Chains A and B, each alone.
Chain A
Amino acid sequence: MIGKTLKGFLLVWLLSGCQPAEDKLVITGSSTISPLMADLAEQFETQSGIQVDVQSGGSGRGISDARQGLADFGMVSRALKTDEQDLTAHLIGRDGIAMIVNAANPVTALSNAEIVAIYTGEQQNWSSLGGDDAAITVVHKADGRSTQELFLAHFGLNNDQVQPDMVIGENQQGIKAVANDVNAIGYVSIGTAIYEADAGAPLRLLPLSGVPATLESVDQGRYPLSRELNLVSQGELSETASQLLDFMTDPDRAATYHDYYFLPVSR
């Protein structure tokens, strides 16, 4: 074990300056993708013997690490932006964002305009939306999260238009906030929301534009608020890197994707 690590270090030292070491892959980025990636990486390691190092830190880190050559792949839970076209995106799966309310809330559907009105503070009470006479608790995500960027882009909002009552970081915190407050509305990763609702959390996933928030509708491409899960790379892929990519997109991996409530790309 120590010998192997030592050999690894020696190899890295020898090859530094030319190209990354062949027997180790470094993958960094999106905290949405990293649990899935870590699981798949472990399976890949046992099969191929190639060491894979997975570190979370946000899609932004995935982009910058891939650019600087610090990582073989960056995990990015959205499509590449126009100023990121120097990188190559490899689609490995899909995820969606679900609007969630408390299960005790009588509201079962909201139009896009109503969601915008709630988040901009024009609509502050549930009564005119078919709910109880109670103030709406607006749960919003912190800056820089890809979930927040996607949400804002989908509803055509600027972040300074949003009037939140609570700003959260992780998906789990959003689940807790809505589960504990009958009058709250929030948005989290659809996989997390379905998993928590199945596990008994008092949540209701609202349909968007009439399309139910289910994994099937995301898979069929009908669900409007969904996102790509990408591995991004710069330049030519090394042999081990493309080996990992083939391994991940193999239909045999579908079960692992479902474990994390993501959808693999259908080939």
Chain B
Amino acid sequence: MITTSSRFHADSLLSWLLRLTGAAAVLVLGGIVAVLLIQSAPFLVEHGSALWRNDWQPGQTRYGMAAMIAGSVLVSVLALVIAGPLAVLLAAWLRYFAPLIRRPVLALVELMAGIPSVVYGLWGMLVLVPWINQWAPPGASWLAASLVLALMILPLALLVTDTALGQLPARYLQAGQALSLSRVGMLRRVLLPQAGPAIVSGLVLQFGRALGETMAVLMVAGNVVQWPTSLFDPVRTLTANIALEMAYATGDHRVALFVSGLLLLLVTAVLLMLSWRLRGERHEMA
């Protein structure tokens, strides 16, 4: 009797503790949103309608952010387009076609995932940008930023895909073999569709990481505020803009940077919701 009551007590204590930590997480996020909103409110009233223009000239109180929002999204999308398929193909190949080298390669990839992003940025600035510059000056460009980001998100995208494939029931593989399906056919028709939702959710997380990356992008993107007309045009992302100007900004300029932080949060939220819908549909299909 005593033992059950004391266990009940311990359980309820733990559950309250968990609720408290859960609430703390929500409160912190809510606090960030609240601070951003409060900081931005007066500015939004005054300049809100002009935010959707392209000209960012804070010195002349012109705060158009459309080109930078586009920059953030374009750079991250291209990075995902490059890294996503590569990660999926590589993971599938390692698991089903080259199981012998899978362990050592994954160990190497884990090491890659641990490299700080600024190191990728440095490599991009000193190697990749001069290389692109040789045939399409100035070199610092949308393409350079996306390549650096792709390299950055590839390791974790690969590891997530590998885990997703590993969690598939072994009977799929056995049933496929019993039906003497080809390995490629089995991968295409059975394994990848089954692991699809988990793979997509992993890629979405990496997309969010690409969107939030600051220093590596700042070092290779060229940071000119404009809509790029080709892959070799420089772009500026919202995060790079904050990092470039925050230390030197005062007054409305500073608030405008808070607003760009708020916009970044909005873009991330919209993309997350999109991905949830995507995953939901995939689940129903499966």
- Closest Cβ of chain A to B243, distance in Å, is 7
Partner of B245, one of A61, A63, A137, A142: A142
Please determine whether A142 and B222 come into contact, CB atoms closer than 8 angstroms. Answer: no
Q: How far is the CA of A184 from the CA of B133 in the complex (A)?
A: 11
Please judge, given known A-B contacts A137-B137, A167-B236, whether A173 and B60 are in contact too, CB under 8 Å.
no
A51 interface residue (CB < 8 Å to B): no
Please determine whether B253 and A144 come into contact, CB atoms closer than 8 angstroms. Answer: yes
Q: How far is the CA of A21 from the CA of B7 in the complex (A)?
A: 56
- Closest Cβ of chain B to A158, distance in Å, is 7
Which residues on A sit within 8 Å (CB–CB) of B228?
Answer: none
A143 interface residue (CB < 8 Å to B): yes
A91 interface residue (CB < 8 Å to B): no
Please determine whether B223 and A176 come into contact, CB atoms closer than 8 angstroms. Answer: no
Partner of A167, one of B57, B133, B137, B244: B244
Please determine whether A60 and B249 come into contact, CB atoms closer than 8 angstroms. Answer: yes
Partner of B222, one of A60, A63, A167: A167
Residues of chain A at interface, number, CB under 8 A: 32
Which residues on A sit within 8 Å (CB–CB) of B129?
Answer: 180
A183 interface residue (CB < 8 Å to B): yes
Q: How far is the CA of A184 from the CA of B140 in the complex (A)?
A: 12
Q: For chain B residues 220-236, which have a beta carbon within 8 Å of chain A?
A: 222-225, 234, 236
Please determine whether B59 and A137 come into contact, CB atoms closer than 8 angstroms. Answer: no
A237 interface residue (CB < 8 Å to B): no
Q: How far is the CA of A61 from the CA of B250 in the complex (A)?
A: 8
Q: For chain B residues 231-286, which have a beta carbon within 8 Å of chain A?
A: 234, 236, 243-245, 247-250, 253
A123 interface residue (CB < 8 Å to B): no
B149 interface residue (CB < 8 Å to A): no
Please determine whether A165 and B234 come into contact, CB atoms closer than 8 angstroms. Answer: yes
Q: For chain B residues 104-142, which have a beta carbon within 8 Å of chain A?
A: 125-126, 129-130, 133, 137-140
Q: How far is the CA of A199 from the CA of B146 in the complex (A)?
A: 32
Please determine whether A158 and B250 come into contact, CB atoms closer than 8 angstroms. Answer: no
Q: How far is the CA of A57 from the CA of B140 in the complex (A)?
A: 26
- Closest Cβ of chain A to B286, distance in Å, is 47
Please determine whether A180 and B130 come into contact, CB atoms closer than 8 angstroms. Answer: yes
- Closest Cβ of chain A to B109, distance in Å, is 29
Q: How far is the CA of A183 from the CA of B139 in the complex (A)?
A: 11
- Closest Cβ of chain B to A169, distance in Å, is 5
A252 interface residue (CB < 8 Å to B): no
B219 interface residue (CB < 8 Å to A): yes
Please judge, given known A-B contacts A60-B250, A165-B222, whether A184 and B245 are in contact too, CB under 8 Å.
no
A181 interface residue (CB < 8 Å to B): yes
A177 interface residue (CB < 8 Å to B): yes
Known: A165-B137, A165-B224. 18 other contacts (CB 8 A): A60-B248, A64-B250, A137-B138, A142-B223, A143-B57, A143-B58, A143-B248, A159-B57, A160-B60, A165-B234, A166-B140, A167-B234, A169-B244, A173-B125, A173-B219, A180-B125, A181-B137, A181-B138
A interface residues with partner B (beta carbon < 8 Å): 31, 56-61, 63-64, 134-135, 137, 142-145, 158-160, 164-169, 173, 176-177, 180-181, 183-184
Instruction: Jot down 9 A-B pairs with beta carbons below 8 A, ordered by A.
Output: A143-B245, A144-B248, A145-B248, A160-B57, A160-B62, A167-B223, A180-B125, A180-B130, A181-B139
